[in-house]
Copies of this chain bind each other. A is one copy, B any other.
């Protein structure tokens, strides 16, 4: 038991939740470490949605709403942290929800699909094939799912998968707290925000944006600007710690 008077109580409780999901096999052990990396960068943006983060979330909503065939790609960490938020976003934007894993086993895929369905998501789980130009298990996806998508939302993705999707001509929306990562730099649009803050913000924008808002957002996508703003937040916070 983590004592409630511990100054990092909330973060430690989230870690415990992920650890519990790791014991069940839903979260890969390596996913726990990846979560820690995110925590560090979240700390550096003040553990809140920044102005530029919100702009990115609204732009993501415009992309998803305007897409012909949008897909939300879900991995173990995303399902463990935000299954309900994924279901809500699916309802708001009409995207397919598809499970794609780095540490892939059929059992893990099935467990994560169950978790998502129990949270209310309609999961697309057709037969997977090795369709992406990648050397490991992430090559797998479904012909009618991510492979056919024009817009893919990849929360907590790794860099090579992101690059492979961009190389296939897709619009890739990443949610990644590290603005220096390959994912962040290669995605069409990067949301530098924490997952459980980012997903509800995208859902809200899907419901609220007017057609004119959407057109304006889609005509001014500038990922370099968004990453620069995130980096400025981090350097400002680090520098402030020196005072």
Partner of A32, one of B5, B36, B231, B235: B36
Cα-based distance from A40 to B18 in the complex (angstroms):
19
Task: Establish whether residues B3 and A30, one from each chain, have CB atoms under 8 Å apart when the complex forms.
Answer: no
Q: Does A105 contact B (CB under 8 A)?
A: no
A178: chain B residues within 8 A (beta carbon): 40
- Which residues 1-28 of A sit at the B interface, judged by CB distance below 8 A? 1-3, 5-8, 12, 15-16, 18-19, 22-23, 28
Task: Establish whether residues A242 and B238, one from each chain, have CB atoms under 8 Å apart when the complex forms.
Answer: no
A18: chain B residues within 8 A (beta carbon): 29, 33
- A45 CB → nearest B CB, Å: 12
Q: Does A135 contact B (CB under 8 A)?
A: yes
Q: Does A168 contact B (CB under 8 A)?
A: no
Q: Does A200 contact B (CB under 8 A)?
A: no
- A181 CB → nearest B CB, Å: 9
A36: chain B residues within 8 A (beta carbon): 32-40
CB-CB contacts of A201-235 with B at 8 A, as 1s and 0s?
00000000000000000000000000010010011
Residues of A within 8 A of B (CB): 1-3, 5-8, 12, 15-16, 18-19, 22-23, 28-30, 32-41, 43, 135-136, 158-160, 178-180, 182, 228, 231, 234-235, 238-239, 241-242
